């Protein structure tokens, strides 16, 4: 089964398929869901795929966008991606997609340092999407305000890095994580990395998209079961 992975970001859409040697990209901008479908078809016309994994930069509930993304066009809530693509689609938050690909066992906390603060917790093949960016930072704003893009631009790298380290330490302790993975475009600015922390990359989202379709088949099963389970 060939899986097409679509990782939608605020500035670019990244694409990969199981049997293709190189990923492809195109700019997102004020992208609507129908724009996405049309562009993906144009860019991947020579790729064969059976199913699709779609990483969405916003709140996802029951496998569908629950709110319009702040940095794209509108029309995402209620859009039927399976019908539009004509293929089975599994849609998750983009942080979930990266966390799933980065997971190496134990209890892992993923944090995406980009426009805001993406977050997910993974343990024993169960992925829990989180909205940690909405938590108060202790400085009169939210964690996303402090360590997102606006916080970096307003406060500068030094203050931003200190805020990142403080928030990482607090979140790791609160969620009893064995280790953390930092993703997102600004993860490279955190240097040196805190203990038990490593950087992720775009390839994690692709790996996560492939894993999203992994299934377990045992003799007593009437039908395949998912290896990885997203809680909501």
Is residue 193 exposed (0-12), middle (13-18) or buried (19+ Cβ within 10 Å)? Answer: middle
pLDDT band at 81 (very low <50, low <70, confident <90, very high): very high
Q: What is the CATH number of the domain that holds 145?
A: 3.30.420.40
pTM across the whole model:
0.89
Judgement on whether residues 104 and 189 belong to the same structural domain of the protein: yes
Question: In the structure, what pLDDT confidence band is assigned to residue 13 with cuts at 50, 70 and 90?
Answer: very high
In sequence order, the 6+-apart residues with CB closer than 8 A to the CB of 214 are 226, 227, 228
75 plus 124 within the same structural domain = no
- Flag whether 87 is in a domain: yes
Q: With cut-offs at 50, 70 and 90, classify the pLDDT of residue 71.
A: confident
Cβ atoms of 58 and 100 within 8 Å: the answer is no
Q: What is the DSSP string of 57-110?
A: SS-EETTEE-S--TTS-S--TT--HHHHHTS-EEEEEHHHHHHHHH--SSEEEE
Cα three-residue angle 30-31-35, rounded to 5 degrees: 140
- 153-199: pLDDT as tens digits: 999 999 999 999 999 999 999 999 999 999 988 999 999 999 999 99
Mapped onto helix, strand or coil, the DSSP state of residue 17 is strand
18 and 87 housed in the same domain: yes
Q: For residue 64, how many C-alpha atoms fall within 13 Å in the half-sphere facing its CB?
A: 10
Looking at the structure, do residues 106 and 172 belong to the same domain, yes or no?
A: yes
Helix axes of 94-102 and 202-211: crossing angle, nearest 10 degrees: 90
Q: Are residues 68 and 101 in the same domain?
A: no
Give the pLDDT confidence of 19-58 residue by residue, as tens digits.
877 999 999 888 999 999 999 999 999 999 999 999 999 8
Residue 11: pLDDT band (50, 70, 90) is confident
Same domain, 115 and 189: yes
Last residue of a domain, one of 64, 93, 122: 93
37 and 60 in one domain? yes
Of 93, 123, 145, the position where a domain reaches its end is 93
Same domain, 86 and 101: no
Domain span at residue 54? 3-93
């Amino acid at each position: 089964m060939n899986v097409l992975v679509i990782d939608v970001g605020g500035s670019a859409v990244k694409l990969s398929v199981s049997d293709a040697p190189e990923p492809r990209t195109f700019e997102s901008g004020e992208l609507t869901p129908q724009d996405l479908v049309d562009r993906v078809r144009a860019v991947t016309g020579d790729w064969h795929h059976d199913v699709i994994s779609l990483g969405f930069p916003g709140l996802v509930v029951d496998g569908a966008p629950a709110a319009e993304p702040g940095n794209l066009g509108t029309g995402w809530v209620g859009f039927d991606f399976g019908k539009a693509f004509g293929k089975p689609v599994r849609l998750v938050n983009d942080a979930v997609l990266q966390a799933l690909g980065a997971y190496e066992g134990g209890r892992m906390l993923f944090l995406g340092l980009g426009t805001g603060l993406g977050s997910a917790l993974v343990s024993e093949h169960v992925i829990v999407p989180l909205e940690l960016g909405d938590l108060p930072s202790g400085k009169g704003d939210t964690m996303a305000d402090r360590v997102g893009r606006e916080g970096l631009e307003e406060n500068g790298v030094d203050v931003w890095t200190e805020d990142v380290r403080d928030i990482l330490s607090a979140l790791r302790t609160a969620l009893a994580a064995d280790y953390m993975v930092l993703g997102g475009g600004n993860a490279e600015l955190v240097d040196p990395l805190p203990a038990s922390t490593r950087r992720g990359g775009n390839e994690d989202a692709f790996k996560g998209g492939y894993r999203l379709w992994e299934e377990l088949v045992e003799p007593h099963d009437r039908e395949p079961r998912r290896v990885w389970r997203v809680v909501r």
